[in-house]
Structure formats: structure tokens, C-alpha cells
Structure 1
Amino acid sequence: MAESQTPDADTKRRVVDALTERVREELAAAQASVEAEQAASELDPEDVVRADDQSQADDAGDLKPLFERSASRQQEILDAIEAIDFSETDVARPGAVIGFDGDRYVLGVVSDAFEVDGITYEGIAPDAPVAAAVDGLRAGDSFTVGTRTVRLEFVS
């Protein structure tokens, strides 16, 4: 990837907006799952309750903590994204968009792959080994990933 393909400020803003929207959608879905599991676990005391109904309600209640943890994790990710400085930078740090090996990444955030303008980006968690390896580097600098040496193609 040539350095001329470095994301400009507008592209970077779209990347951050898409990332934030994706996490908000995942949070909303997780919260909806919590509410659905809560509703499924509550039986109407006015109704006749069969053993099978009680068993299904118990199962739904058992799943609720799992969905609550998922919602909590999504909220933590959203809070982290909202706390990061995504301003333009020429140094790899949380909030930078970087490129290496022909791929693009957002530093300091947990995220699966997502697309903006037909280009795929992924998040690199702040505690990931790659995040530590690139911290403070500039475009053109090299770093080691596993046993390979990789060149940082751009930093935005």
C-alpha cells in the first residue's frame, strides 16, 4: 500500500464513526438479548404453570448473566472508543489508523473487521502485542510480529 493511500482526516472520521456505530449496534443487540431473556424467565403468576414452562423460564434466567456480561463488555468498548483521541497523528498510538502488510487497523480499540468506503479495517486492542510493538513508530519504521519484520506503511 502506497503512502498516498494514507487515510485523510475525513476518511479517518468516517472510520471512527463506522466503528462507533458498529459497537453501538452490538451494545443495543446485547441489551435487547438481556431484556428478552428477562422476559422469558418471568412467568405470569396468574397463569397455570407447567413443569416445562418452569424449566424453560429457568433456562432463560440462566442465560441472562451471559447476555449481561456481553452488554457490559460492549459498553466498556464503547466507553473506551469515546475516550480515545482520534486526532490526526504521525506517531502510532491509541486512536491512530495504521497500515501494514496491506491491511488497515485502528489502534487501541477492540473490533472485528468492518468496512468504510470499500476498505476493510480492524481494531487492535490496546493490550495486544502488536499495539506494543508499533507504539511510538512512524510510517516507514519496521517492527517485529512473531518472527517476521514488518514495515509500518502509514500512520494517520
Structure 2
Amino acid sequence: MAQVQHTPLPATSRLWSKVLPGDFIDGYAVKSALSPREAANIGLTMPGWADALLNLRNRIVKPLGLKTETADSGEGAIFPVEYEGQDELILGTDDRHLNFRICIRQEAGHIHMATWVHRNNALGRAYLMIVKPFHVLIVRDAMRRIARAA
């Protein structure tokens, strides 16, 4: 199985235009010839355990007024498309507590996946601190599934 590499998102990504000092951005890559859309279809299809975590998250944050939509597309999409090109797909949304984007980029025979988070307030900072360990597990699992499909 291909190894998941913790590596910065390539500098050619459109996502970098959003990144401000102090923002969270991570990056992972695997060898793959998949298109960004193909990789997203595989990587963003949550396994049962990740779906359960997302459902728990939604029940906890709903009273705080945070977004909990889980539709696949449209206004209620959990990952609405911001940009889609041949080599890059950027998904995400803005909320009161934080703004986030997921970037999936094909470059030099690798699929890169990065998550950018801009925390808007103390709730956003606390939220990211709590979900970050789960985020890493989910992204690494997504990248392994993308690598297996390649």
C-alpha cells in the first residue's frame, strides 16, 4: 500500500491565497494518477466510524448555532464546491466560528489533500483544538483509501 506523506500543499495551489498568519493548514500526499474529483469521491466518502463521529459532532454543536448540514450538494452541502479545475478541487464553507476549505490537488503524480482553517473567534479556536486529533485520523484514512484506488 502507498504511504501517506505529511507534506505541505504545493505552492501552486489556489488555496494559499486564503492563508493568513496564524491559520491552520495541513497537507498530506499519496502517489496517485486520479483526478481531484475522483480522489474527492473516494476520500470524502466517510467510513462508518467517521460518519458516527460527524453525527456526534452535529448533535453537540447544533445548540451552539453551528452548521450541521450533511447534504451531498446544494445549499446544505457539508463540502460545497468553491473551485473546480482539472488539477484542483477546493471545497468548504464559512461559519461564525471558523472558515474551512479542503483542497485536493493532482500534481506530479501525487494527490495532495490539505485542510485550511481560519478561526474567527474563541469558539473556533476551541473547536479546532478538540477536533484536530480526529481530523488527522479521518484525513489519513481518506488518503489511504485514495492510494488503494490508484
Q: TM-score range by the shorter chain?
A: under 0.3
TM-score (ref. length: structure 1) = 0.24
Question: Which of the pair has the greater relative contact order for Cα pairs under 8 Å at 6+ separation?
Answer: 2
**Structure that is richer in strand per residue:** 2
TM-score (ref. length: structure 2) = 0.25
**Structure that is richer in helix per residue:** 1
